[in-house]
Amino acid sequence: MSRFNGQVAIVTGGALGIGGATARKLASEGAKVFIADIDDSSAALNVQSIKKTGGIAVASHIDVSQSGDIARMVDEAVDMYGRLDILVQNAFGVIAGESRIHGSALTVEEDNWDYGIDVLLKALYLGPKNAIPHMTATGGGSIINLASVHSFLQEPGMLVYESAKAGVVGMTRQMATEFGPDGIRVNAIAPGHIVGEGLAKIWKDNPTGHEFFADQYPLRRTGIPDDIANGIAFLCSEEASFITGHTLAIDGGLSVQLQEKFGLRQANYVRNNPDTNLPT
Ligand code: NAD
């Protein structure tokens, strides 16, 4: 299947995890992929693996906390490939980034609040600001924002992440309304617990913890990056041409069950095991 033949896609945080799988998925279906990431070596490895399977991809060192980098990202992608059709706004380190911004209104330092909001929210306004003019020049495009089940489900210590991820849902709906007439569709994905390379390392040393997490899900497993990449590819495709402003939960049913019982058990696990430094 080549749903994205002739199209150009930028994936922020496209080296590893959800972004890594998304870059491979879009490339496998014909898109020319531009990976924007701060992890140069992992990005280069992902480009290699895409090329090995006949896909087209490049990587560039882009830090989405820097507005100049986001402008350069779009310029470089359009210079290289001549157009822009898809923008996947995914970058964030669930491991390192999340521990930095952990805390409550009483404990989060102001500079960490600023960092979290810059990477998780402001970057998602700056990406479209730079990308949309190129998309409208060729008749439209698709923007996918990474939200989270934490856009809707709250727990102590997650002020910055949850504020930003709730904002992502609002921003997605706003931009869908604003730019629909220009042929731009804007959607979000709200993943549950997705085990990419980083989380896999943590769970390897704590298999019972992983089992406990999986047990909180109606489908009795946590997710893998391909679960999200498949949803992103669908939302970017022609099959989703009448879908915009939507946030699609891909969470094994986590968010539809009774949170009083299941959400609390998971939050308590994280609270009682602070050394695991786990996102949920
Ligand atoms: P990950 O840590 O596996 O990968 C994140 C990628 O983003 C890495 O390649 C990293 O180098 C890159 N990155 C980090 N900061 C960056 C920056 N400032 N500029 C450019 N690149 C940067 O993360 P993941 O688990 O795949 O998460 C990806 C997205 O999905 C995030 O927005 C996260 O909030 C969201 N999400 C993840 C989960 C989960 O359980 N994994 C759940 C809900 C939402």
pLDDT at 280: 46
Q: Check which CATH number belongs to the domain holding 247 and give it.
A: 3.40.50.720
The structural domain count of the chain equals 1
The reply to whether 261 falls in a domain is no
Q: Which residue has the tokens 């560039």?
A: 60
Closest CA to 162 of 212, 88, 103: 103
The verdict on whether 161 is a catalytic residue reads yes
pLDDT at 97: 60
Query: Which helix (H) or strand (E) covers residue 104, if one does?
Result: none
The reply to whether 264 falls in a domain is no
Mutate to test the pocket of ligand 1, among 94, 112, 158 (most ligand atoms within 8 A of CB): 94
The reply to whether 217 falls in a domain is no
The reply to whether 120 falls in a domain is yes
Closest CA to 203 of 185, 191, 221: 221
**Set 81, 161, 217, 269: catalytic member:** 161
Closest residue by Cα to atom 11, ligand 1, is 39
Q: One-letter amino acid identity for 94? A: V
The reply to whether 206 falls in a domain is no
pLDDT block averages, 10 residues each, the chain of length 280:
94 98 98 98 98 98 97 98 98 73 96 95 98 98 98 94 98 98 98 95 92 93 98 98 98 90 70 62
The reply to whether 208 falls in a domain is no
Cβ atoms 228, 191 nearer than 8 A: yes
Query: What domain range is 45 assigned to?
Result: 8-196+223-255
The residues near 158 (Cβ < 8 Å, ≥ 6 apart) are 102, 150
Using the mean position of ligand 1's atoms as its centre, give its distance from the Cα of residue 198 in Å.
10
The reply to whether 63 falls in a domain is yes
